[in-house]
């Protein structure tokens, strides 16, 4: 059974481990969206601000993600404050087992309860992930430049 909860300080080292493992895996596939190694201070800040969540299966932490407030995305200015689902990371050996769907379902339910809109992005070249988001109820808004690559932005409302 999947459990999702806010991350605690005790989760810090496992969260960093997951993020670093996923980043290395992405980089091996030529996806450079995240920098390795992760900045500990960034993770601590996410913990302190209650943005960081963890996903557990049978008490084993397999993934992590963030949900935080936003006013704009790239050049989009939003009419009202929305939420941003980001930093979705599932240990590589557990990817493709519907765990990502548990994260998107949780986040969609979370924003629906708040009467907010949810946004997320991914590297524009990741067709598999873009299809996954579309299948999970997200509307594709387009591709936008970010540093030396493009990101695809999605919306759920």
DSSP 118: E
pLDDT on residue 77: 55
Q: What does the pLDDT average to over 3-10?
A: 97
* Residue in 17, 8, 19, 111 with CA at minimum distance from that of residue 65: 19
Average pLDDT in the chain: 91
pTM for the structure as a whole = 0.92
How do residues 51-84 score in pLDDT, each as one tens digit?
Answer: 999 999 999 999 999 999 886 665 555 556 789 9
H runs (alpha helix) in 3-157: 12-28, 40-48, 99-114, 127-135
More confident residue, 80 or 30: 30
CA distances from 43 to 53, 74, 87, 92, 118 (A): 11, 22, 11, 20, 21
How do residues 128-152 score in pLDDT, each as one tens digit?
Answer: 899 999 999 999 999 988 878 888 9
Domain regions of the chain by residue span: 2-156
Classify domain 2-156 at the CATH topology level: Aminopeptidase (3.40.630)
CA distances from 141 to 33, 73, 74, 152, 153 (A): 19, 11, 12, 7, 5
Angle (deg, nearest 10), helices 12-28 and 40-48: 130
**Distant-in-sequence, close-in-space partners of 149: CB < 8 Å, separation ≥ 6:** 32, 33, 123, 124, 125
């Amino acid at each position: 059974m999947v459990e999702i909860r806010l991350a605690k300080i005790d989760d810090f080292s496992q969260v960093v481990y997951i993020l670093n493992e996923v980043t290395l895996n992405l980089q091996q596939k030529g996806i450079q969206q995240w920098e390795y190694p992760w900045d500990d201070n960034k993770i601590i800040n996410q913990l302190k601000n209650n943005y960081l969540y963890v996903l557990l299966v049978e008490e084993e932490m397999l993934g992590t993600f963030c949900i935080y407030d936003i006013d704009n995305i790239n050049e989009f200015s939003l009419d009202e404050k929305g939420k941003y689902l980001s930093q979705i990371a599932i240990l590589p050996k557990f990817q493709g087992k519907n765990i990502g769907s548990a994260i998107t379902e949780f986040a969609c339910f979370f924003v629906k309860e708040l009467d907010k809109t949810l946004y997320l992005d991914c590297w524009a070249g990741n067709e598999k992930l873009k299809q996954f988001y579309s299948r999970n109820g997200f509307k594709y808004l387009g591709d936008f430049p970010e540093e030396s690559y493009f990101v695809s932005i999605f919306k759920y409302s």
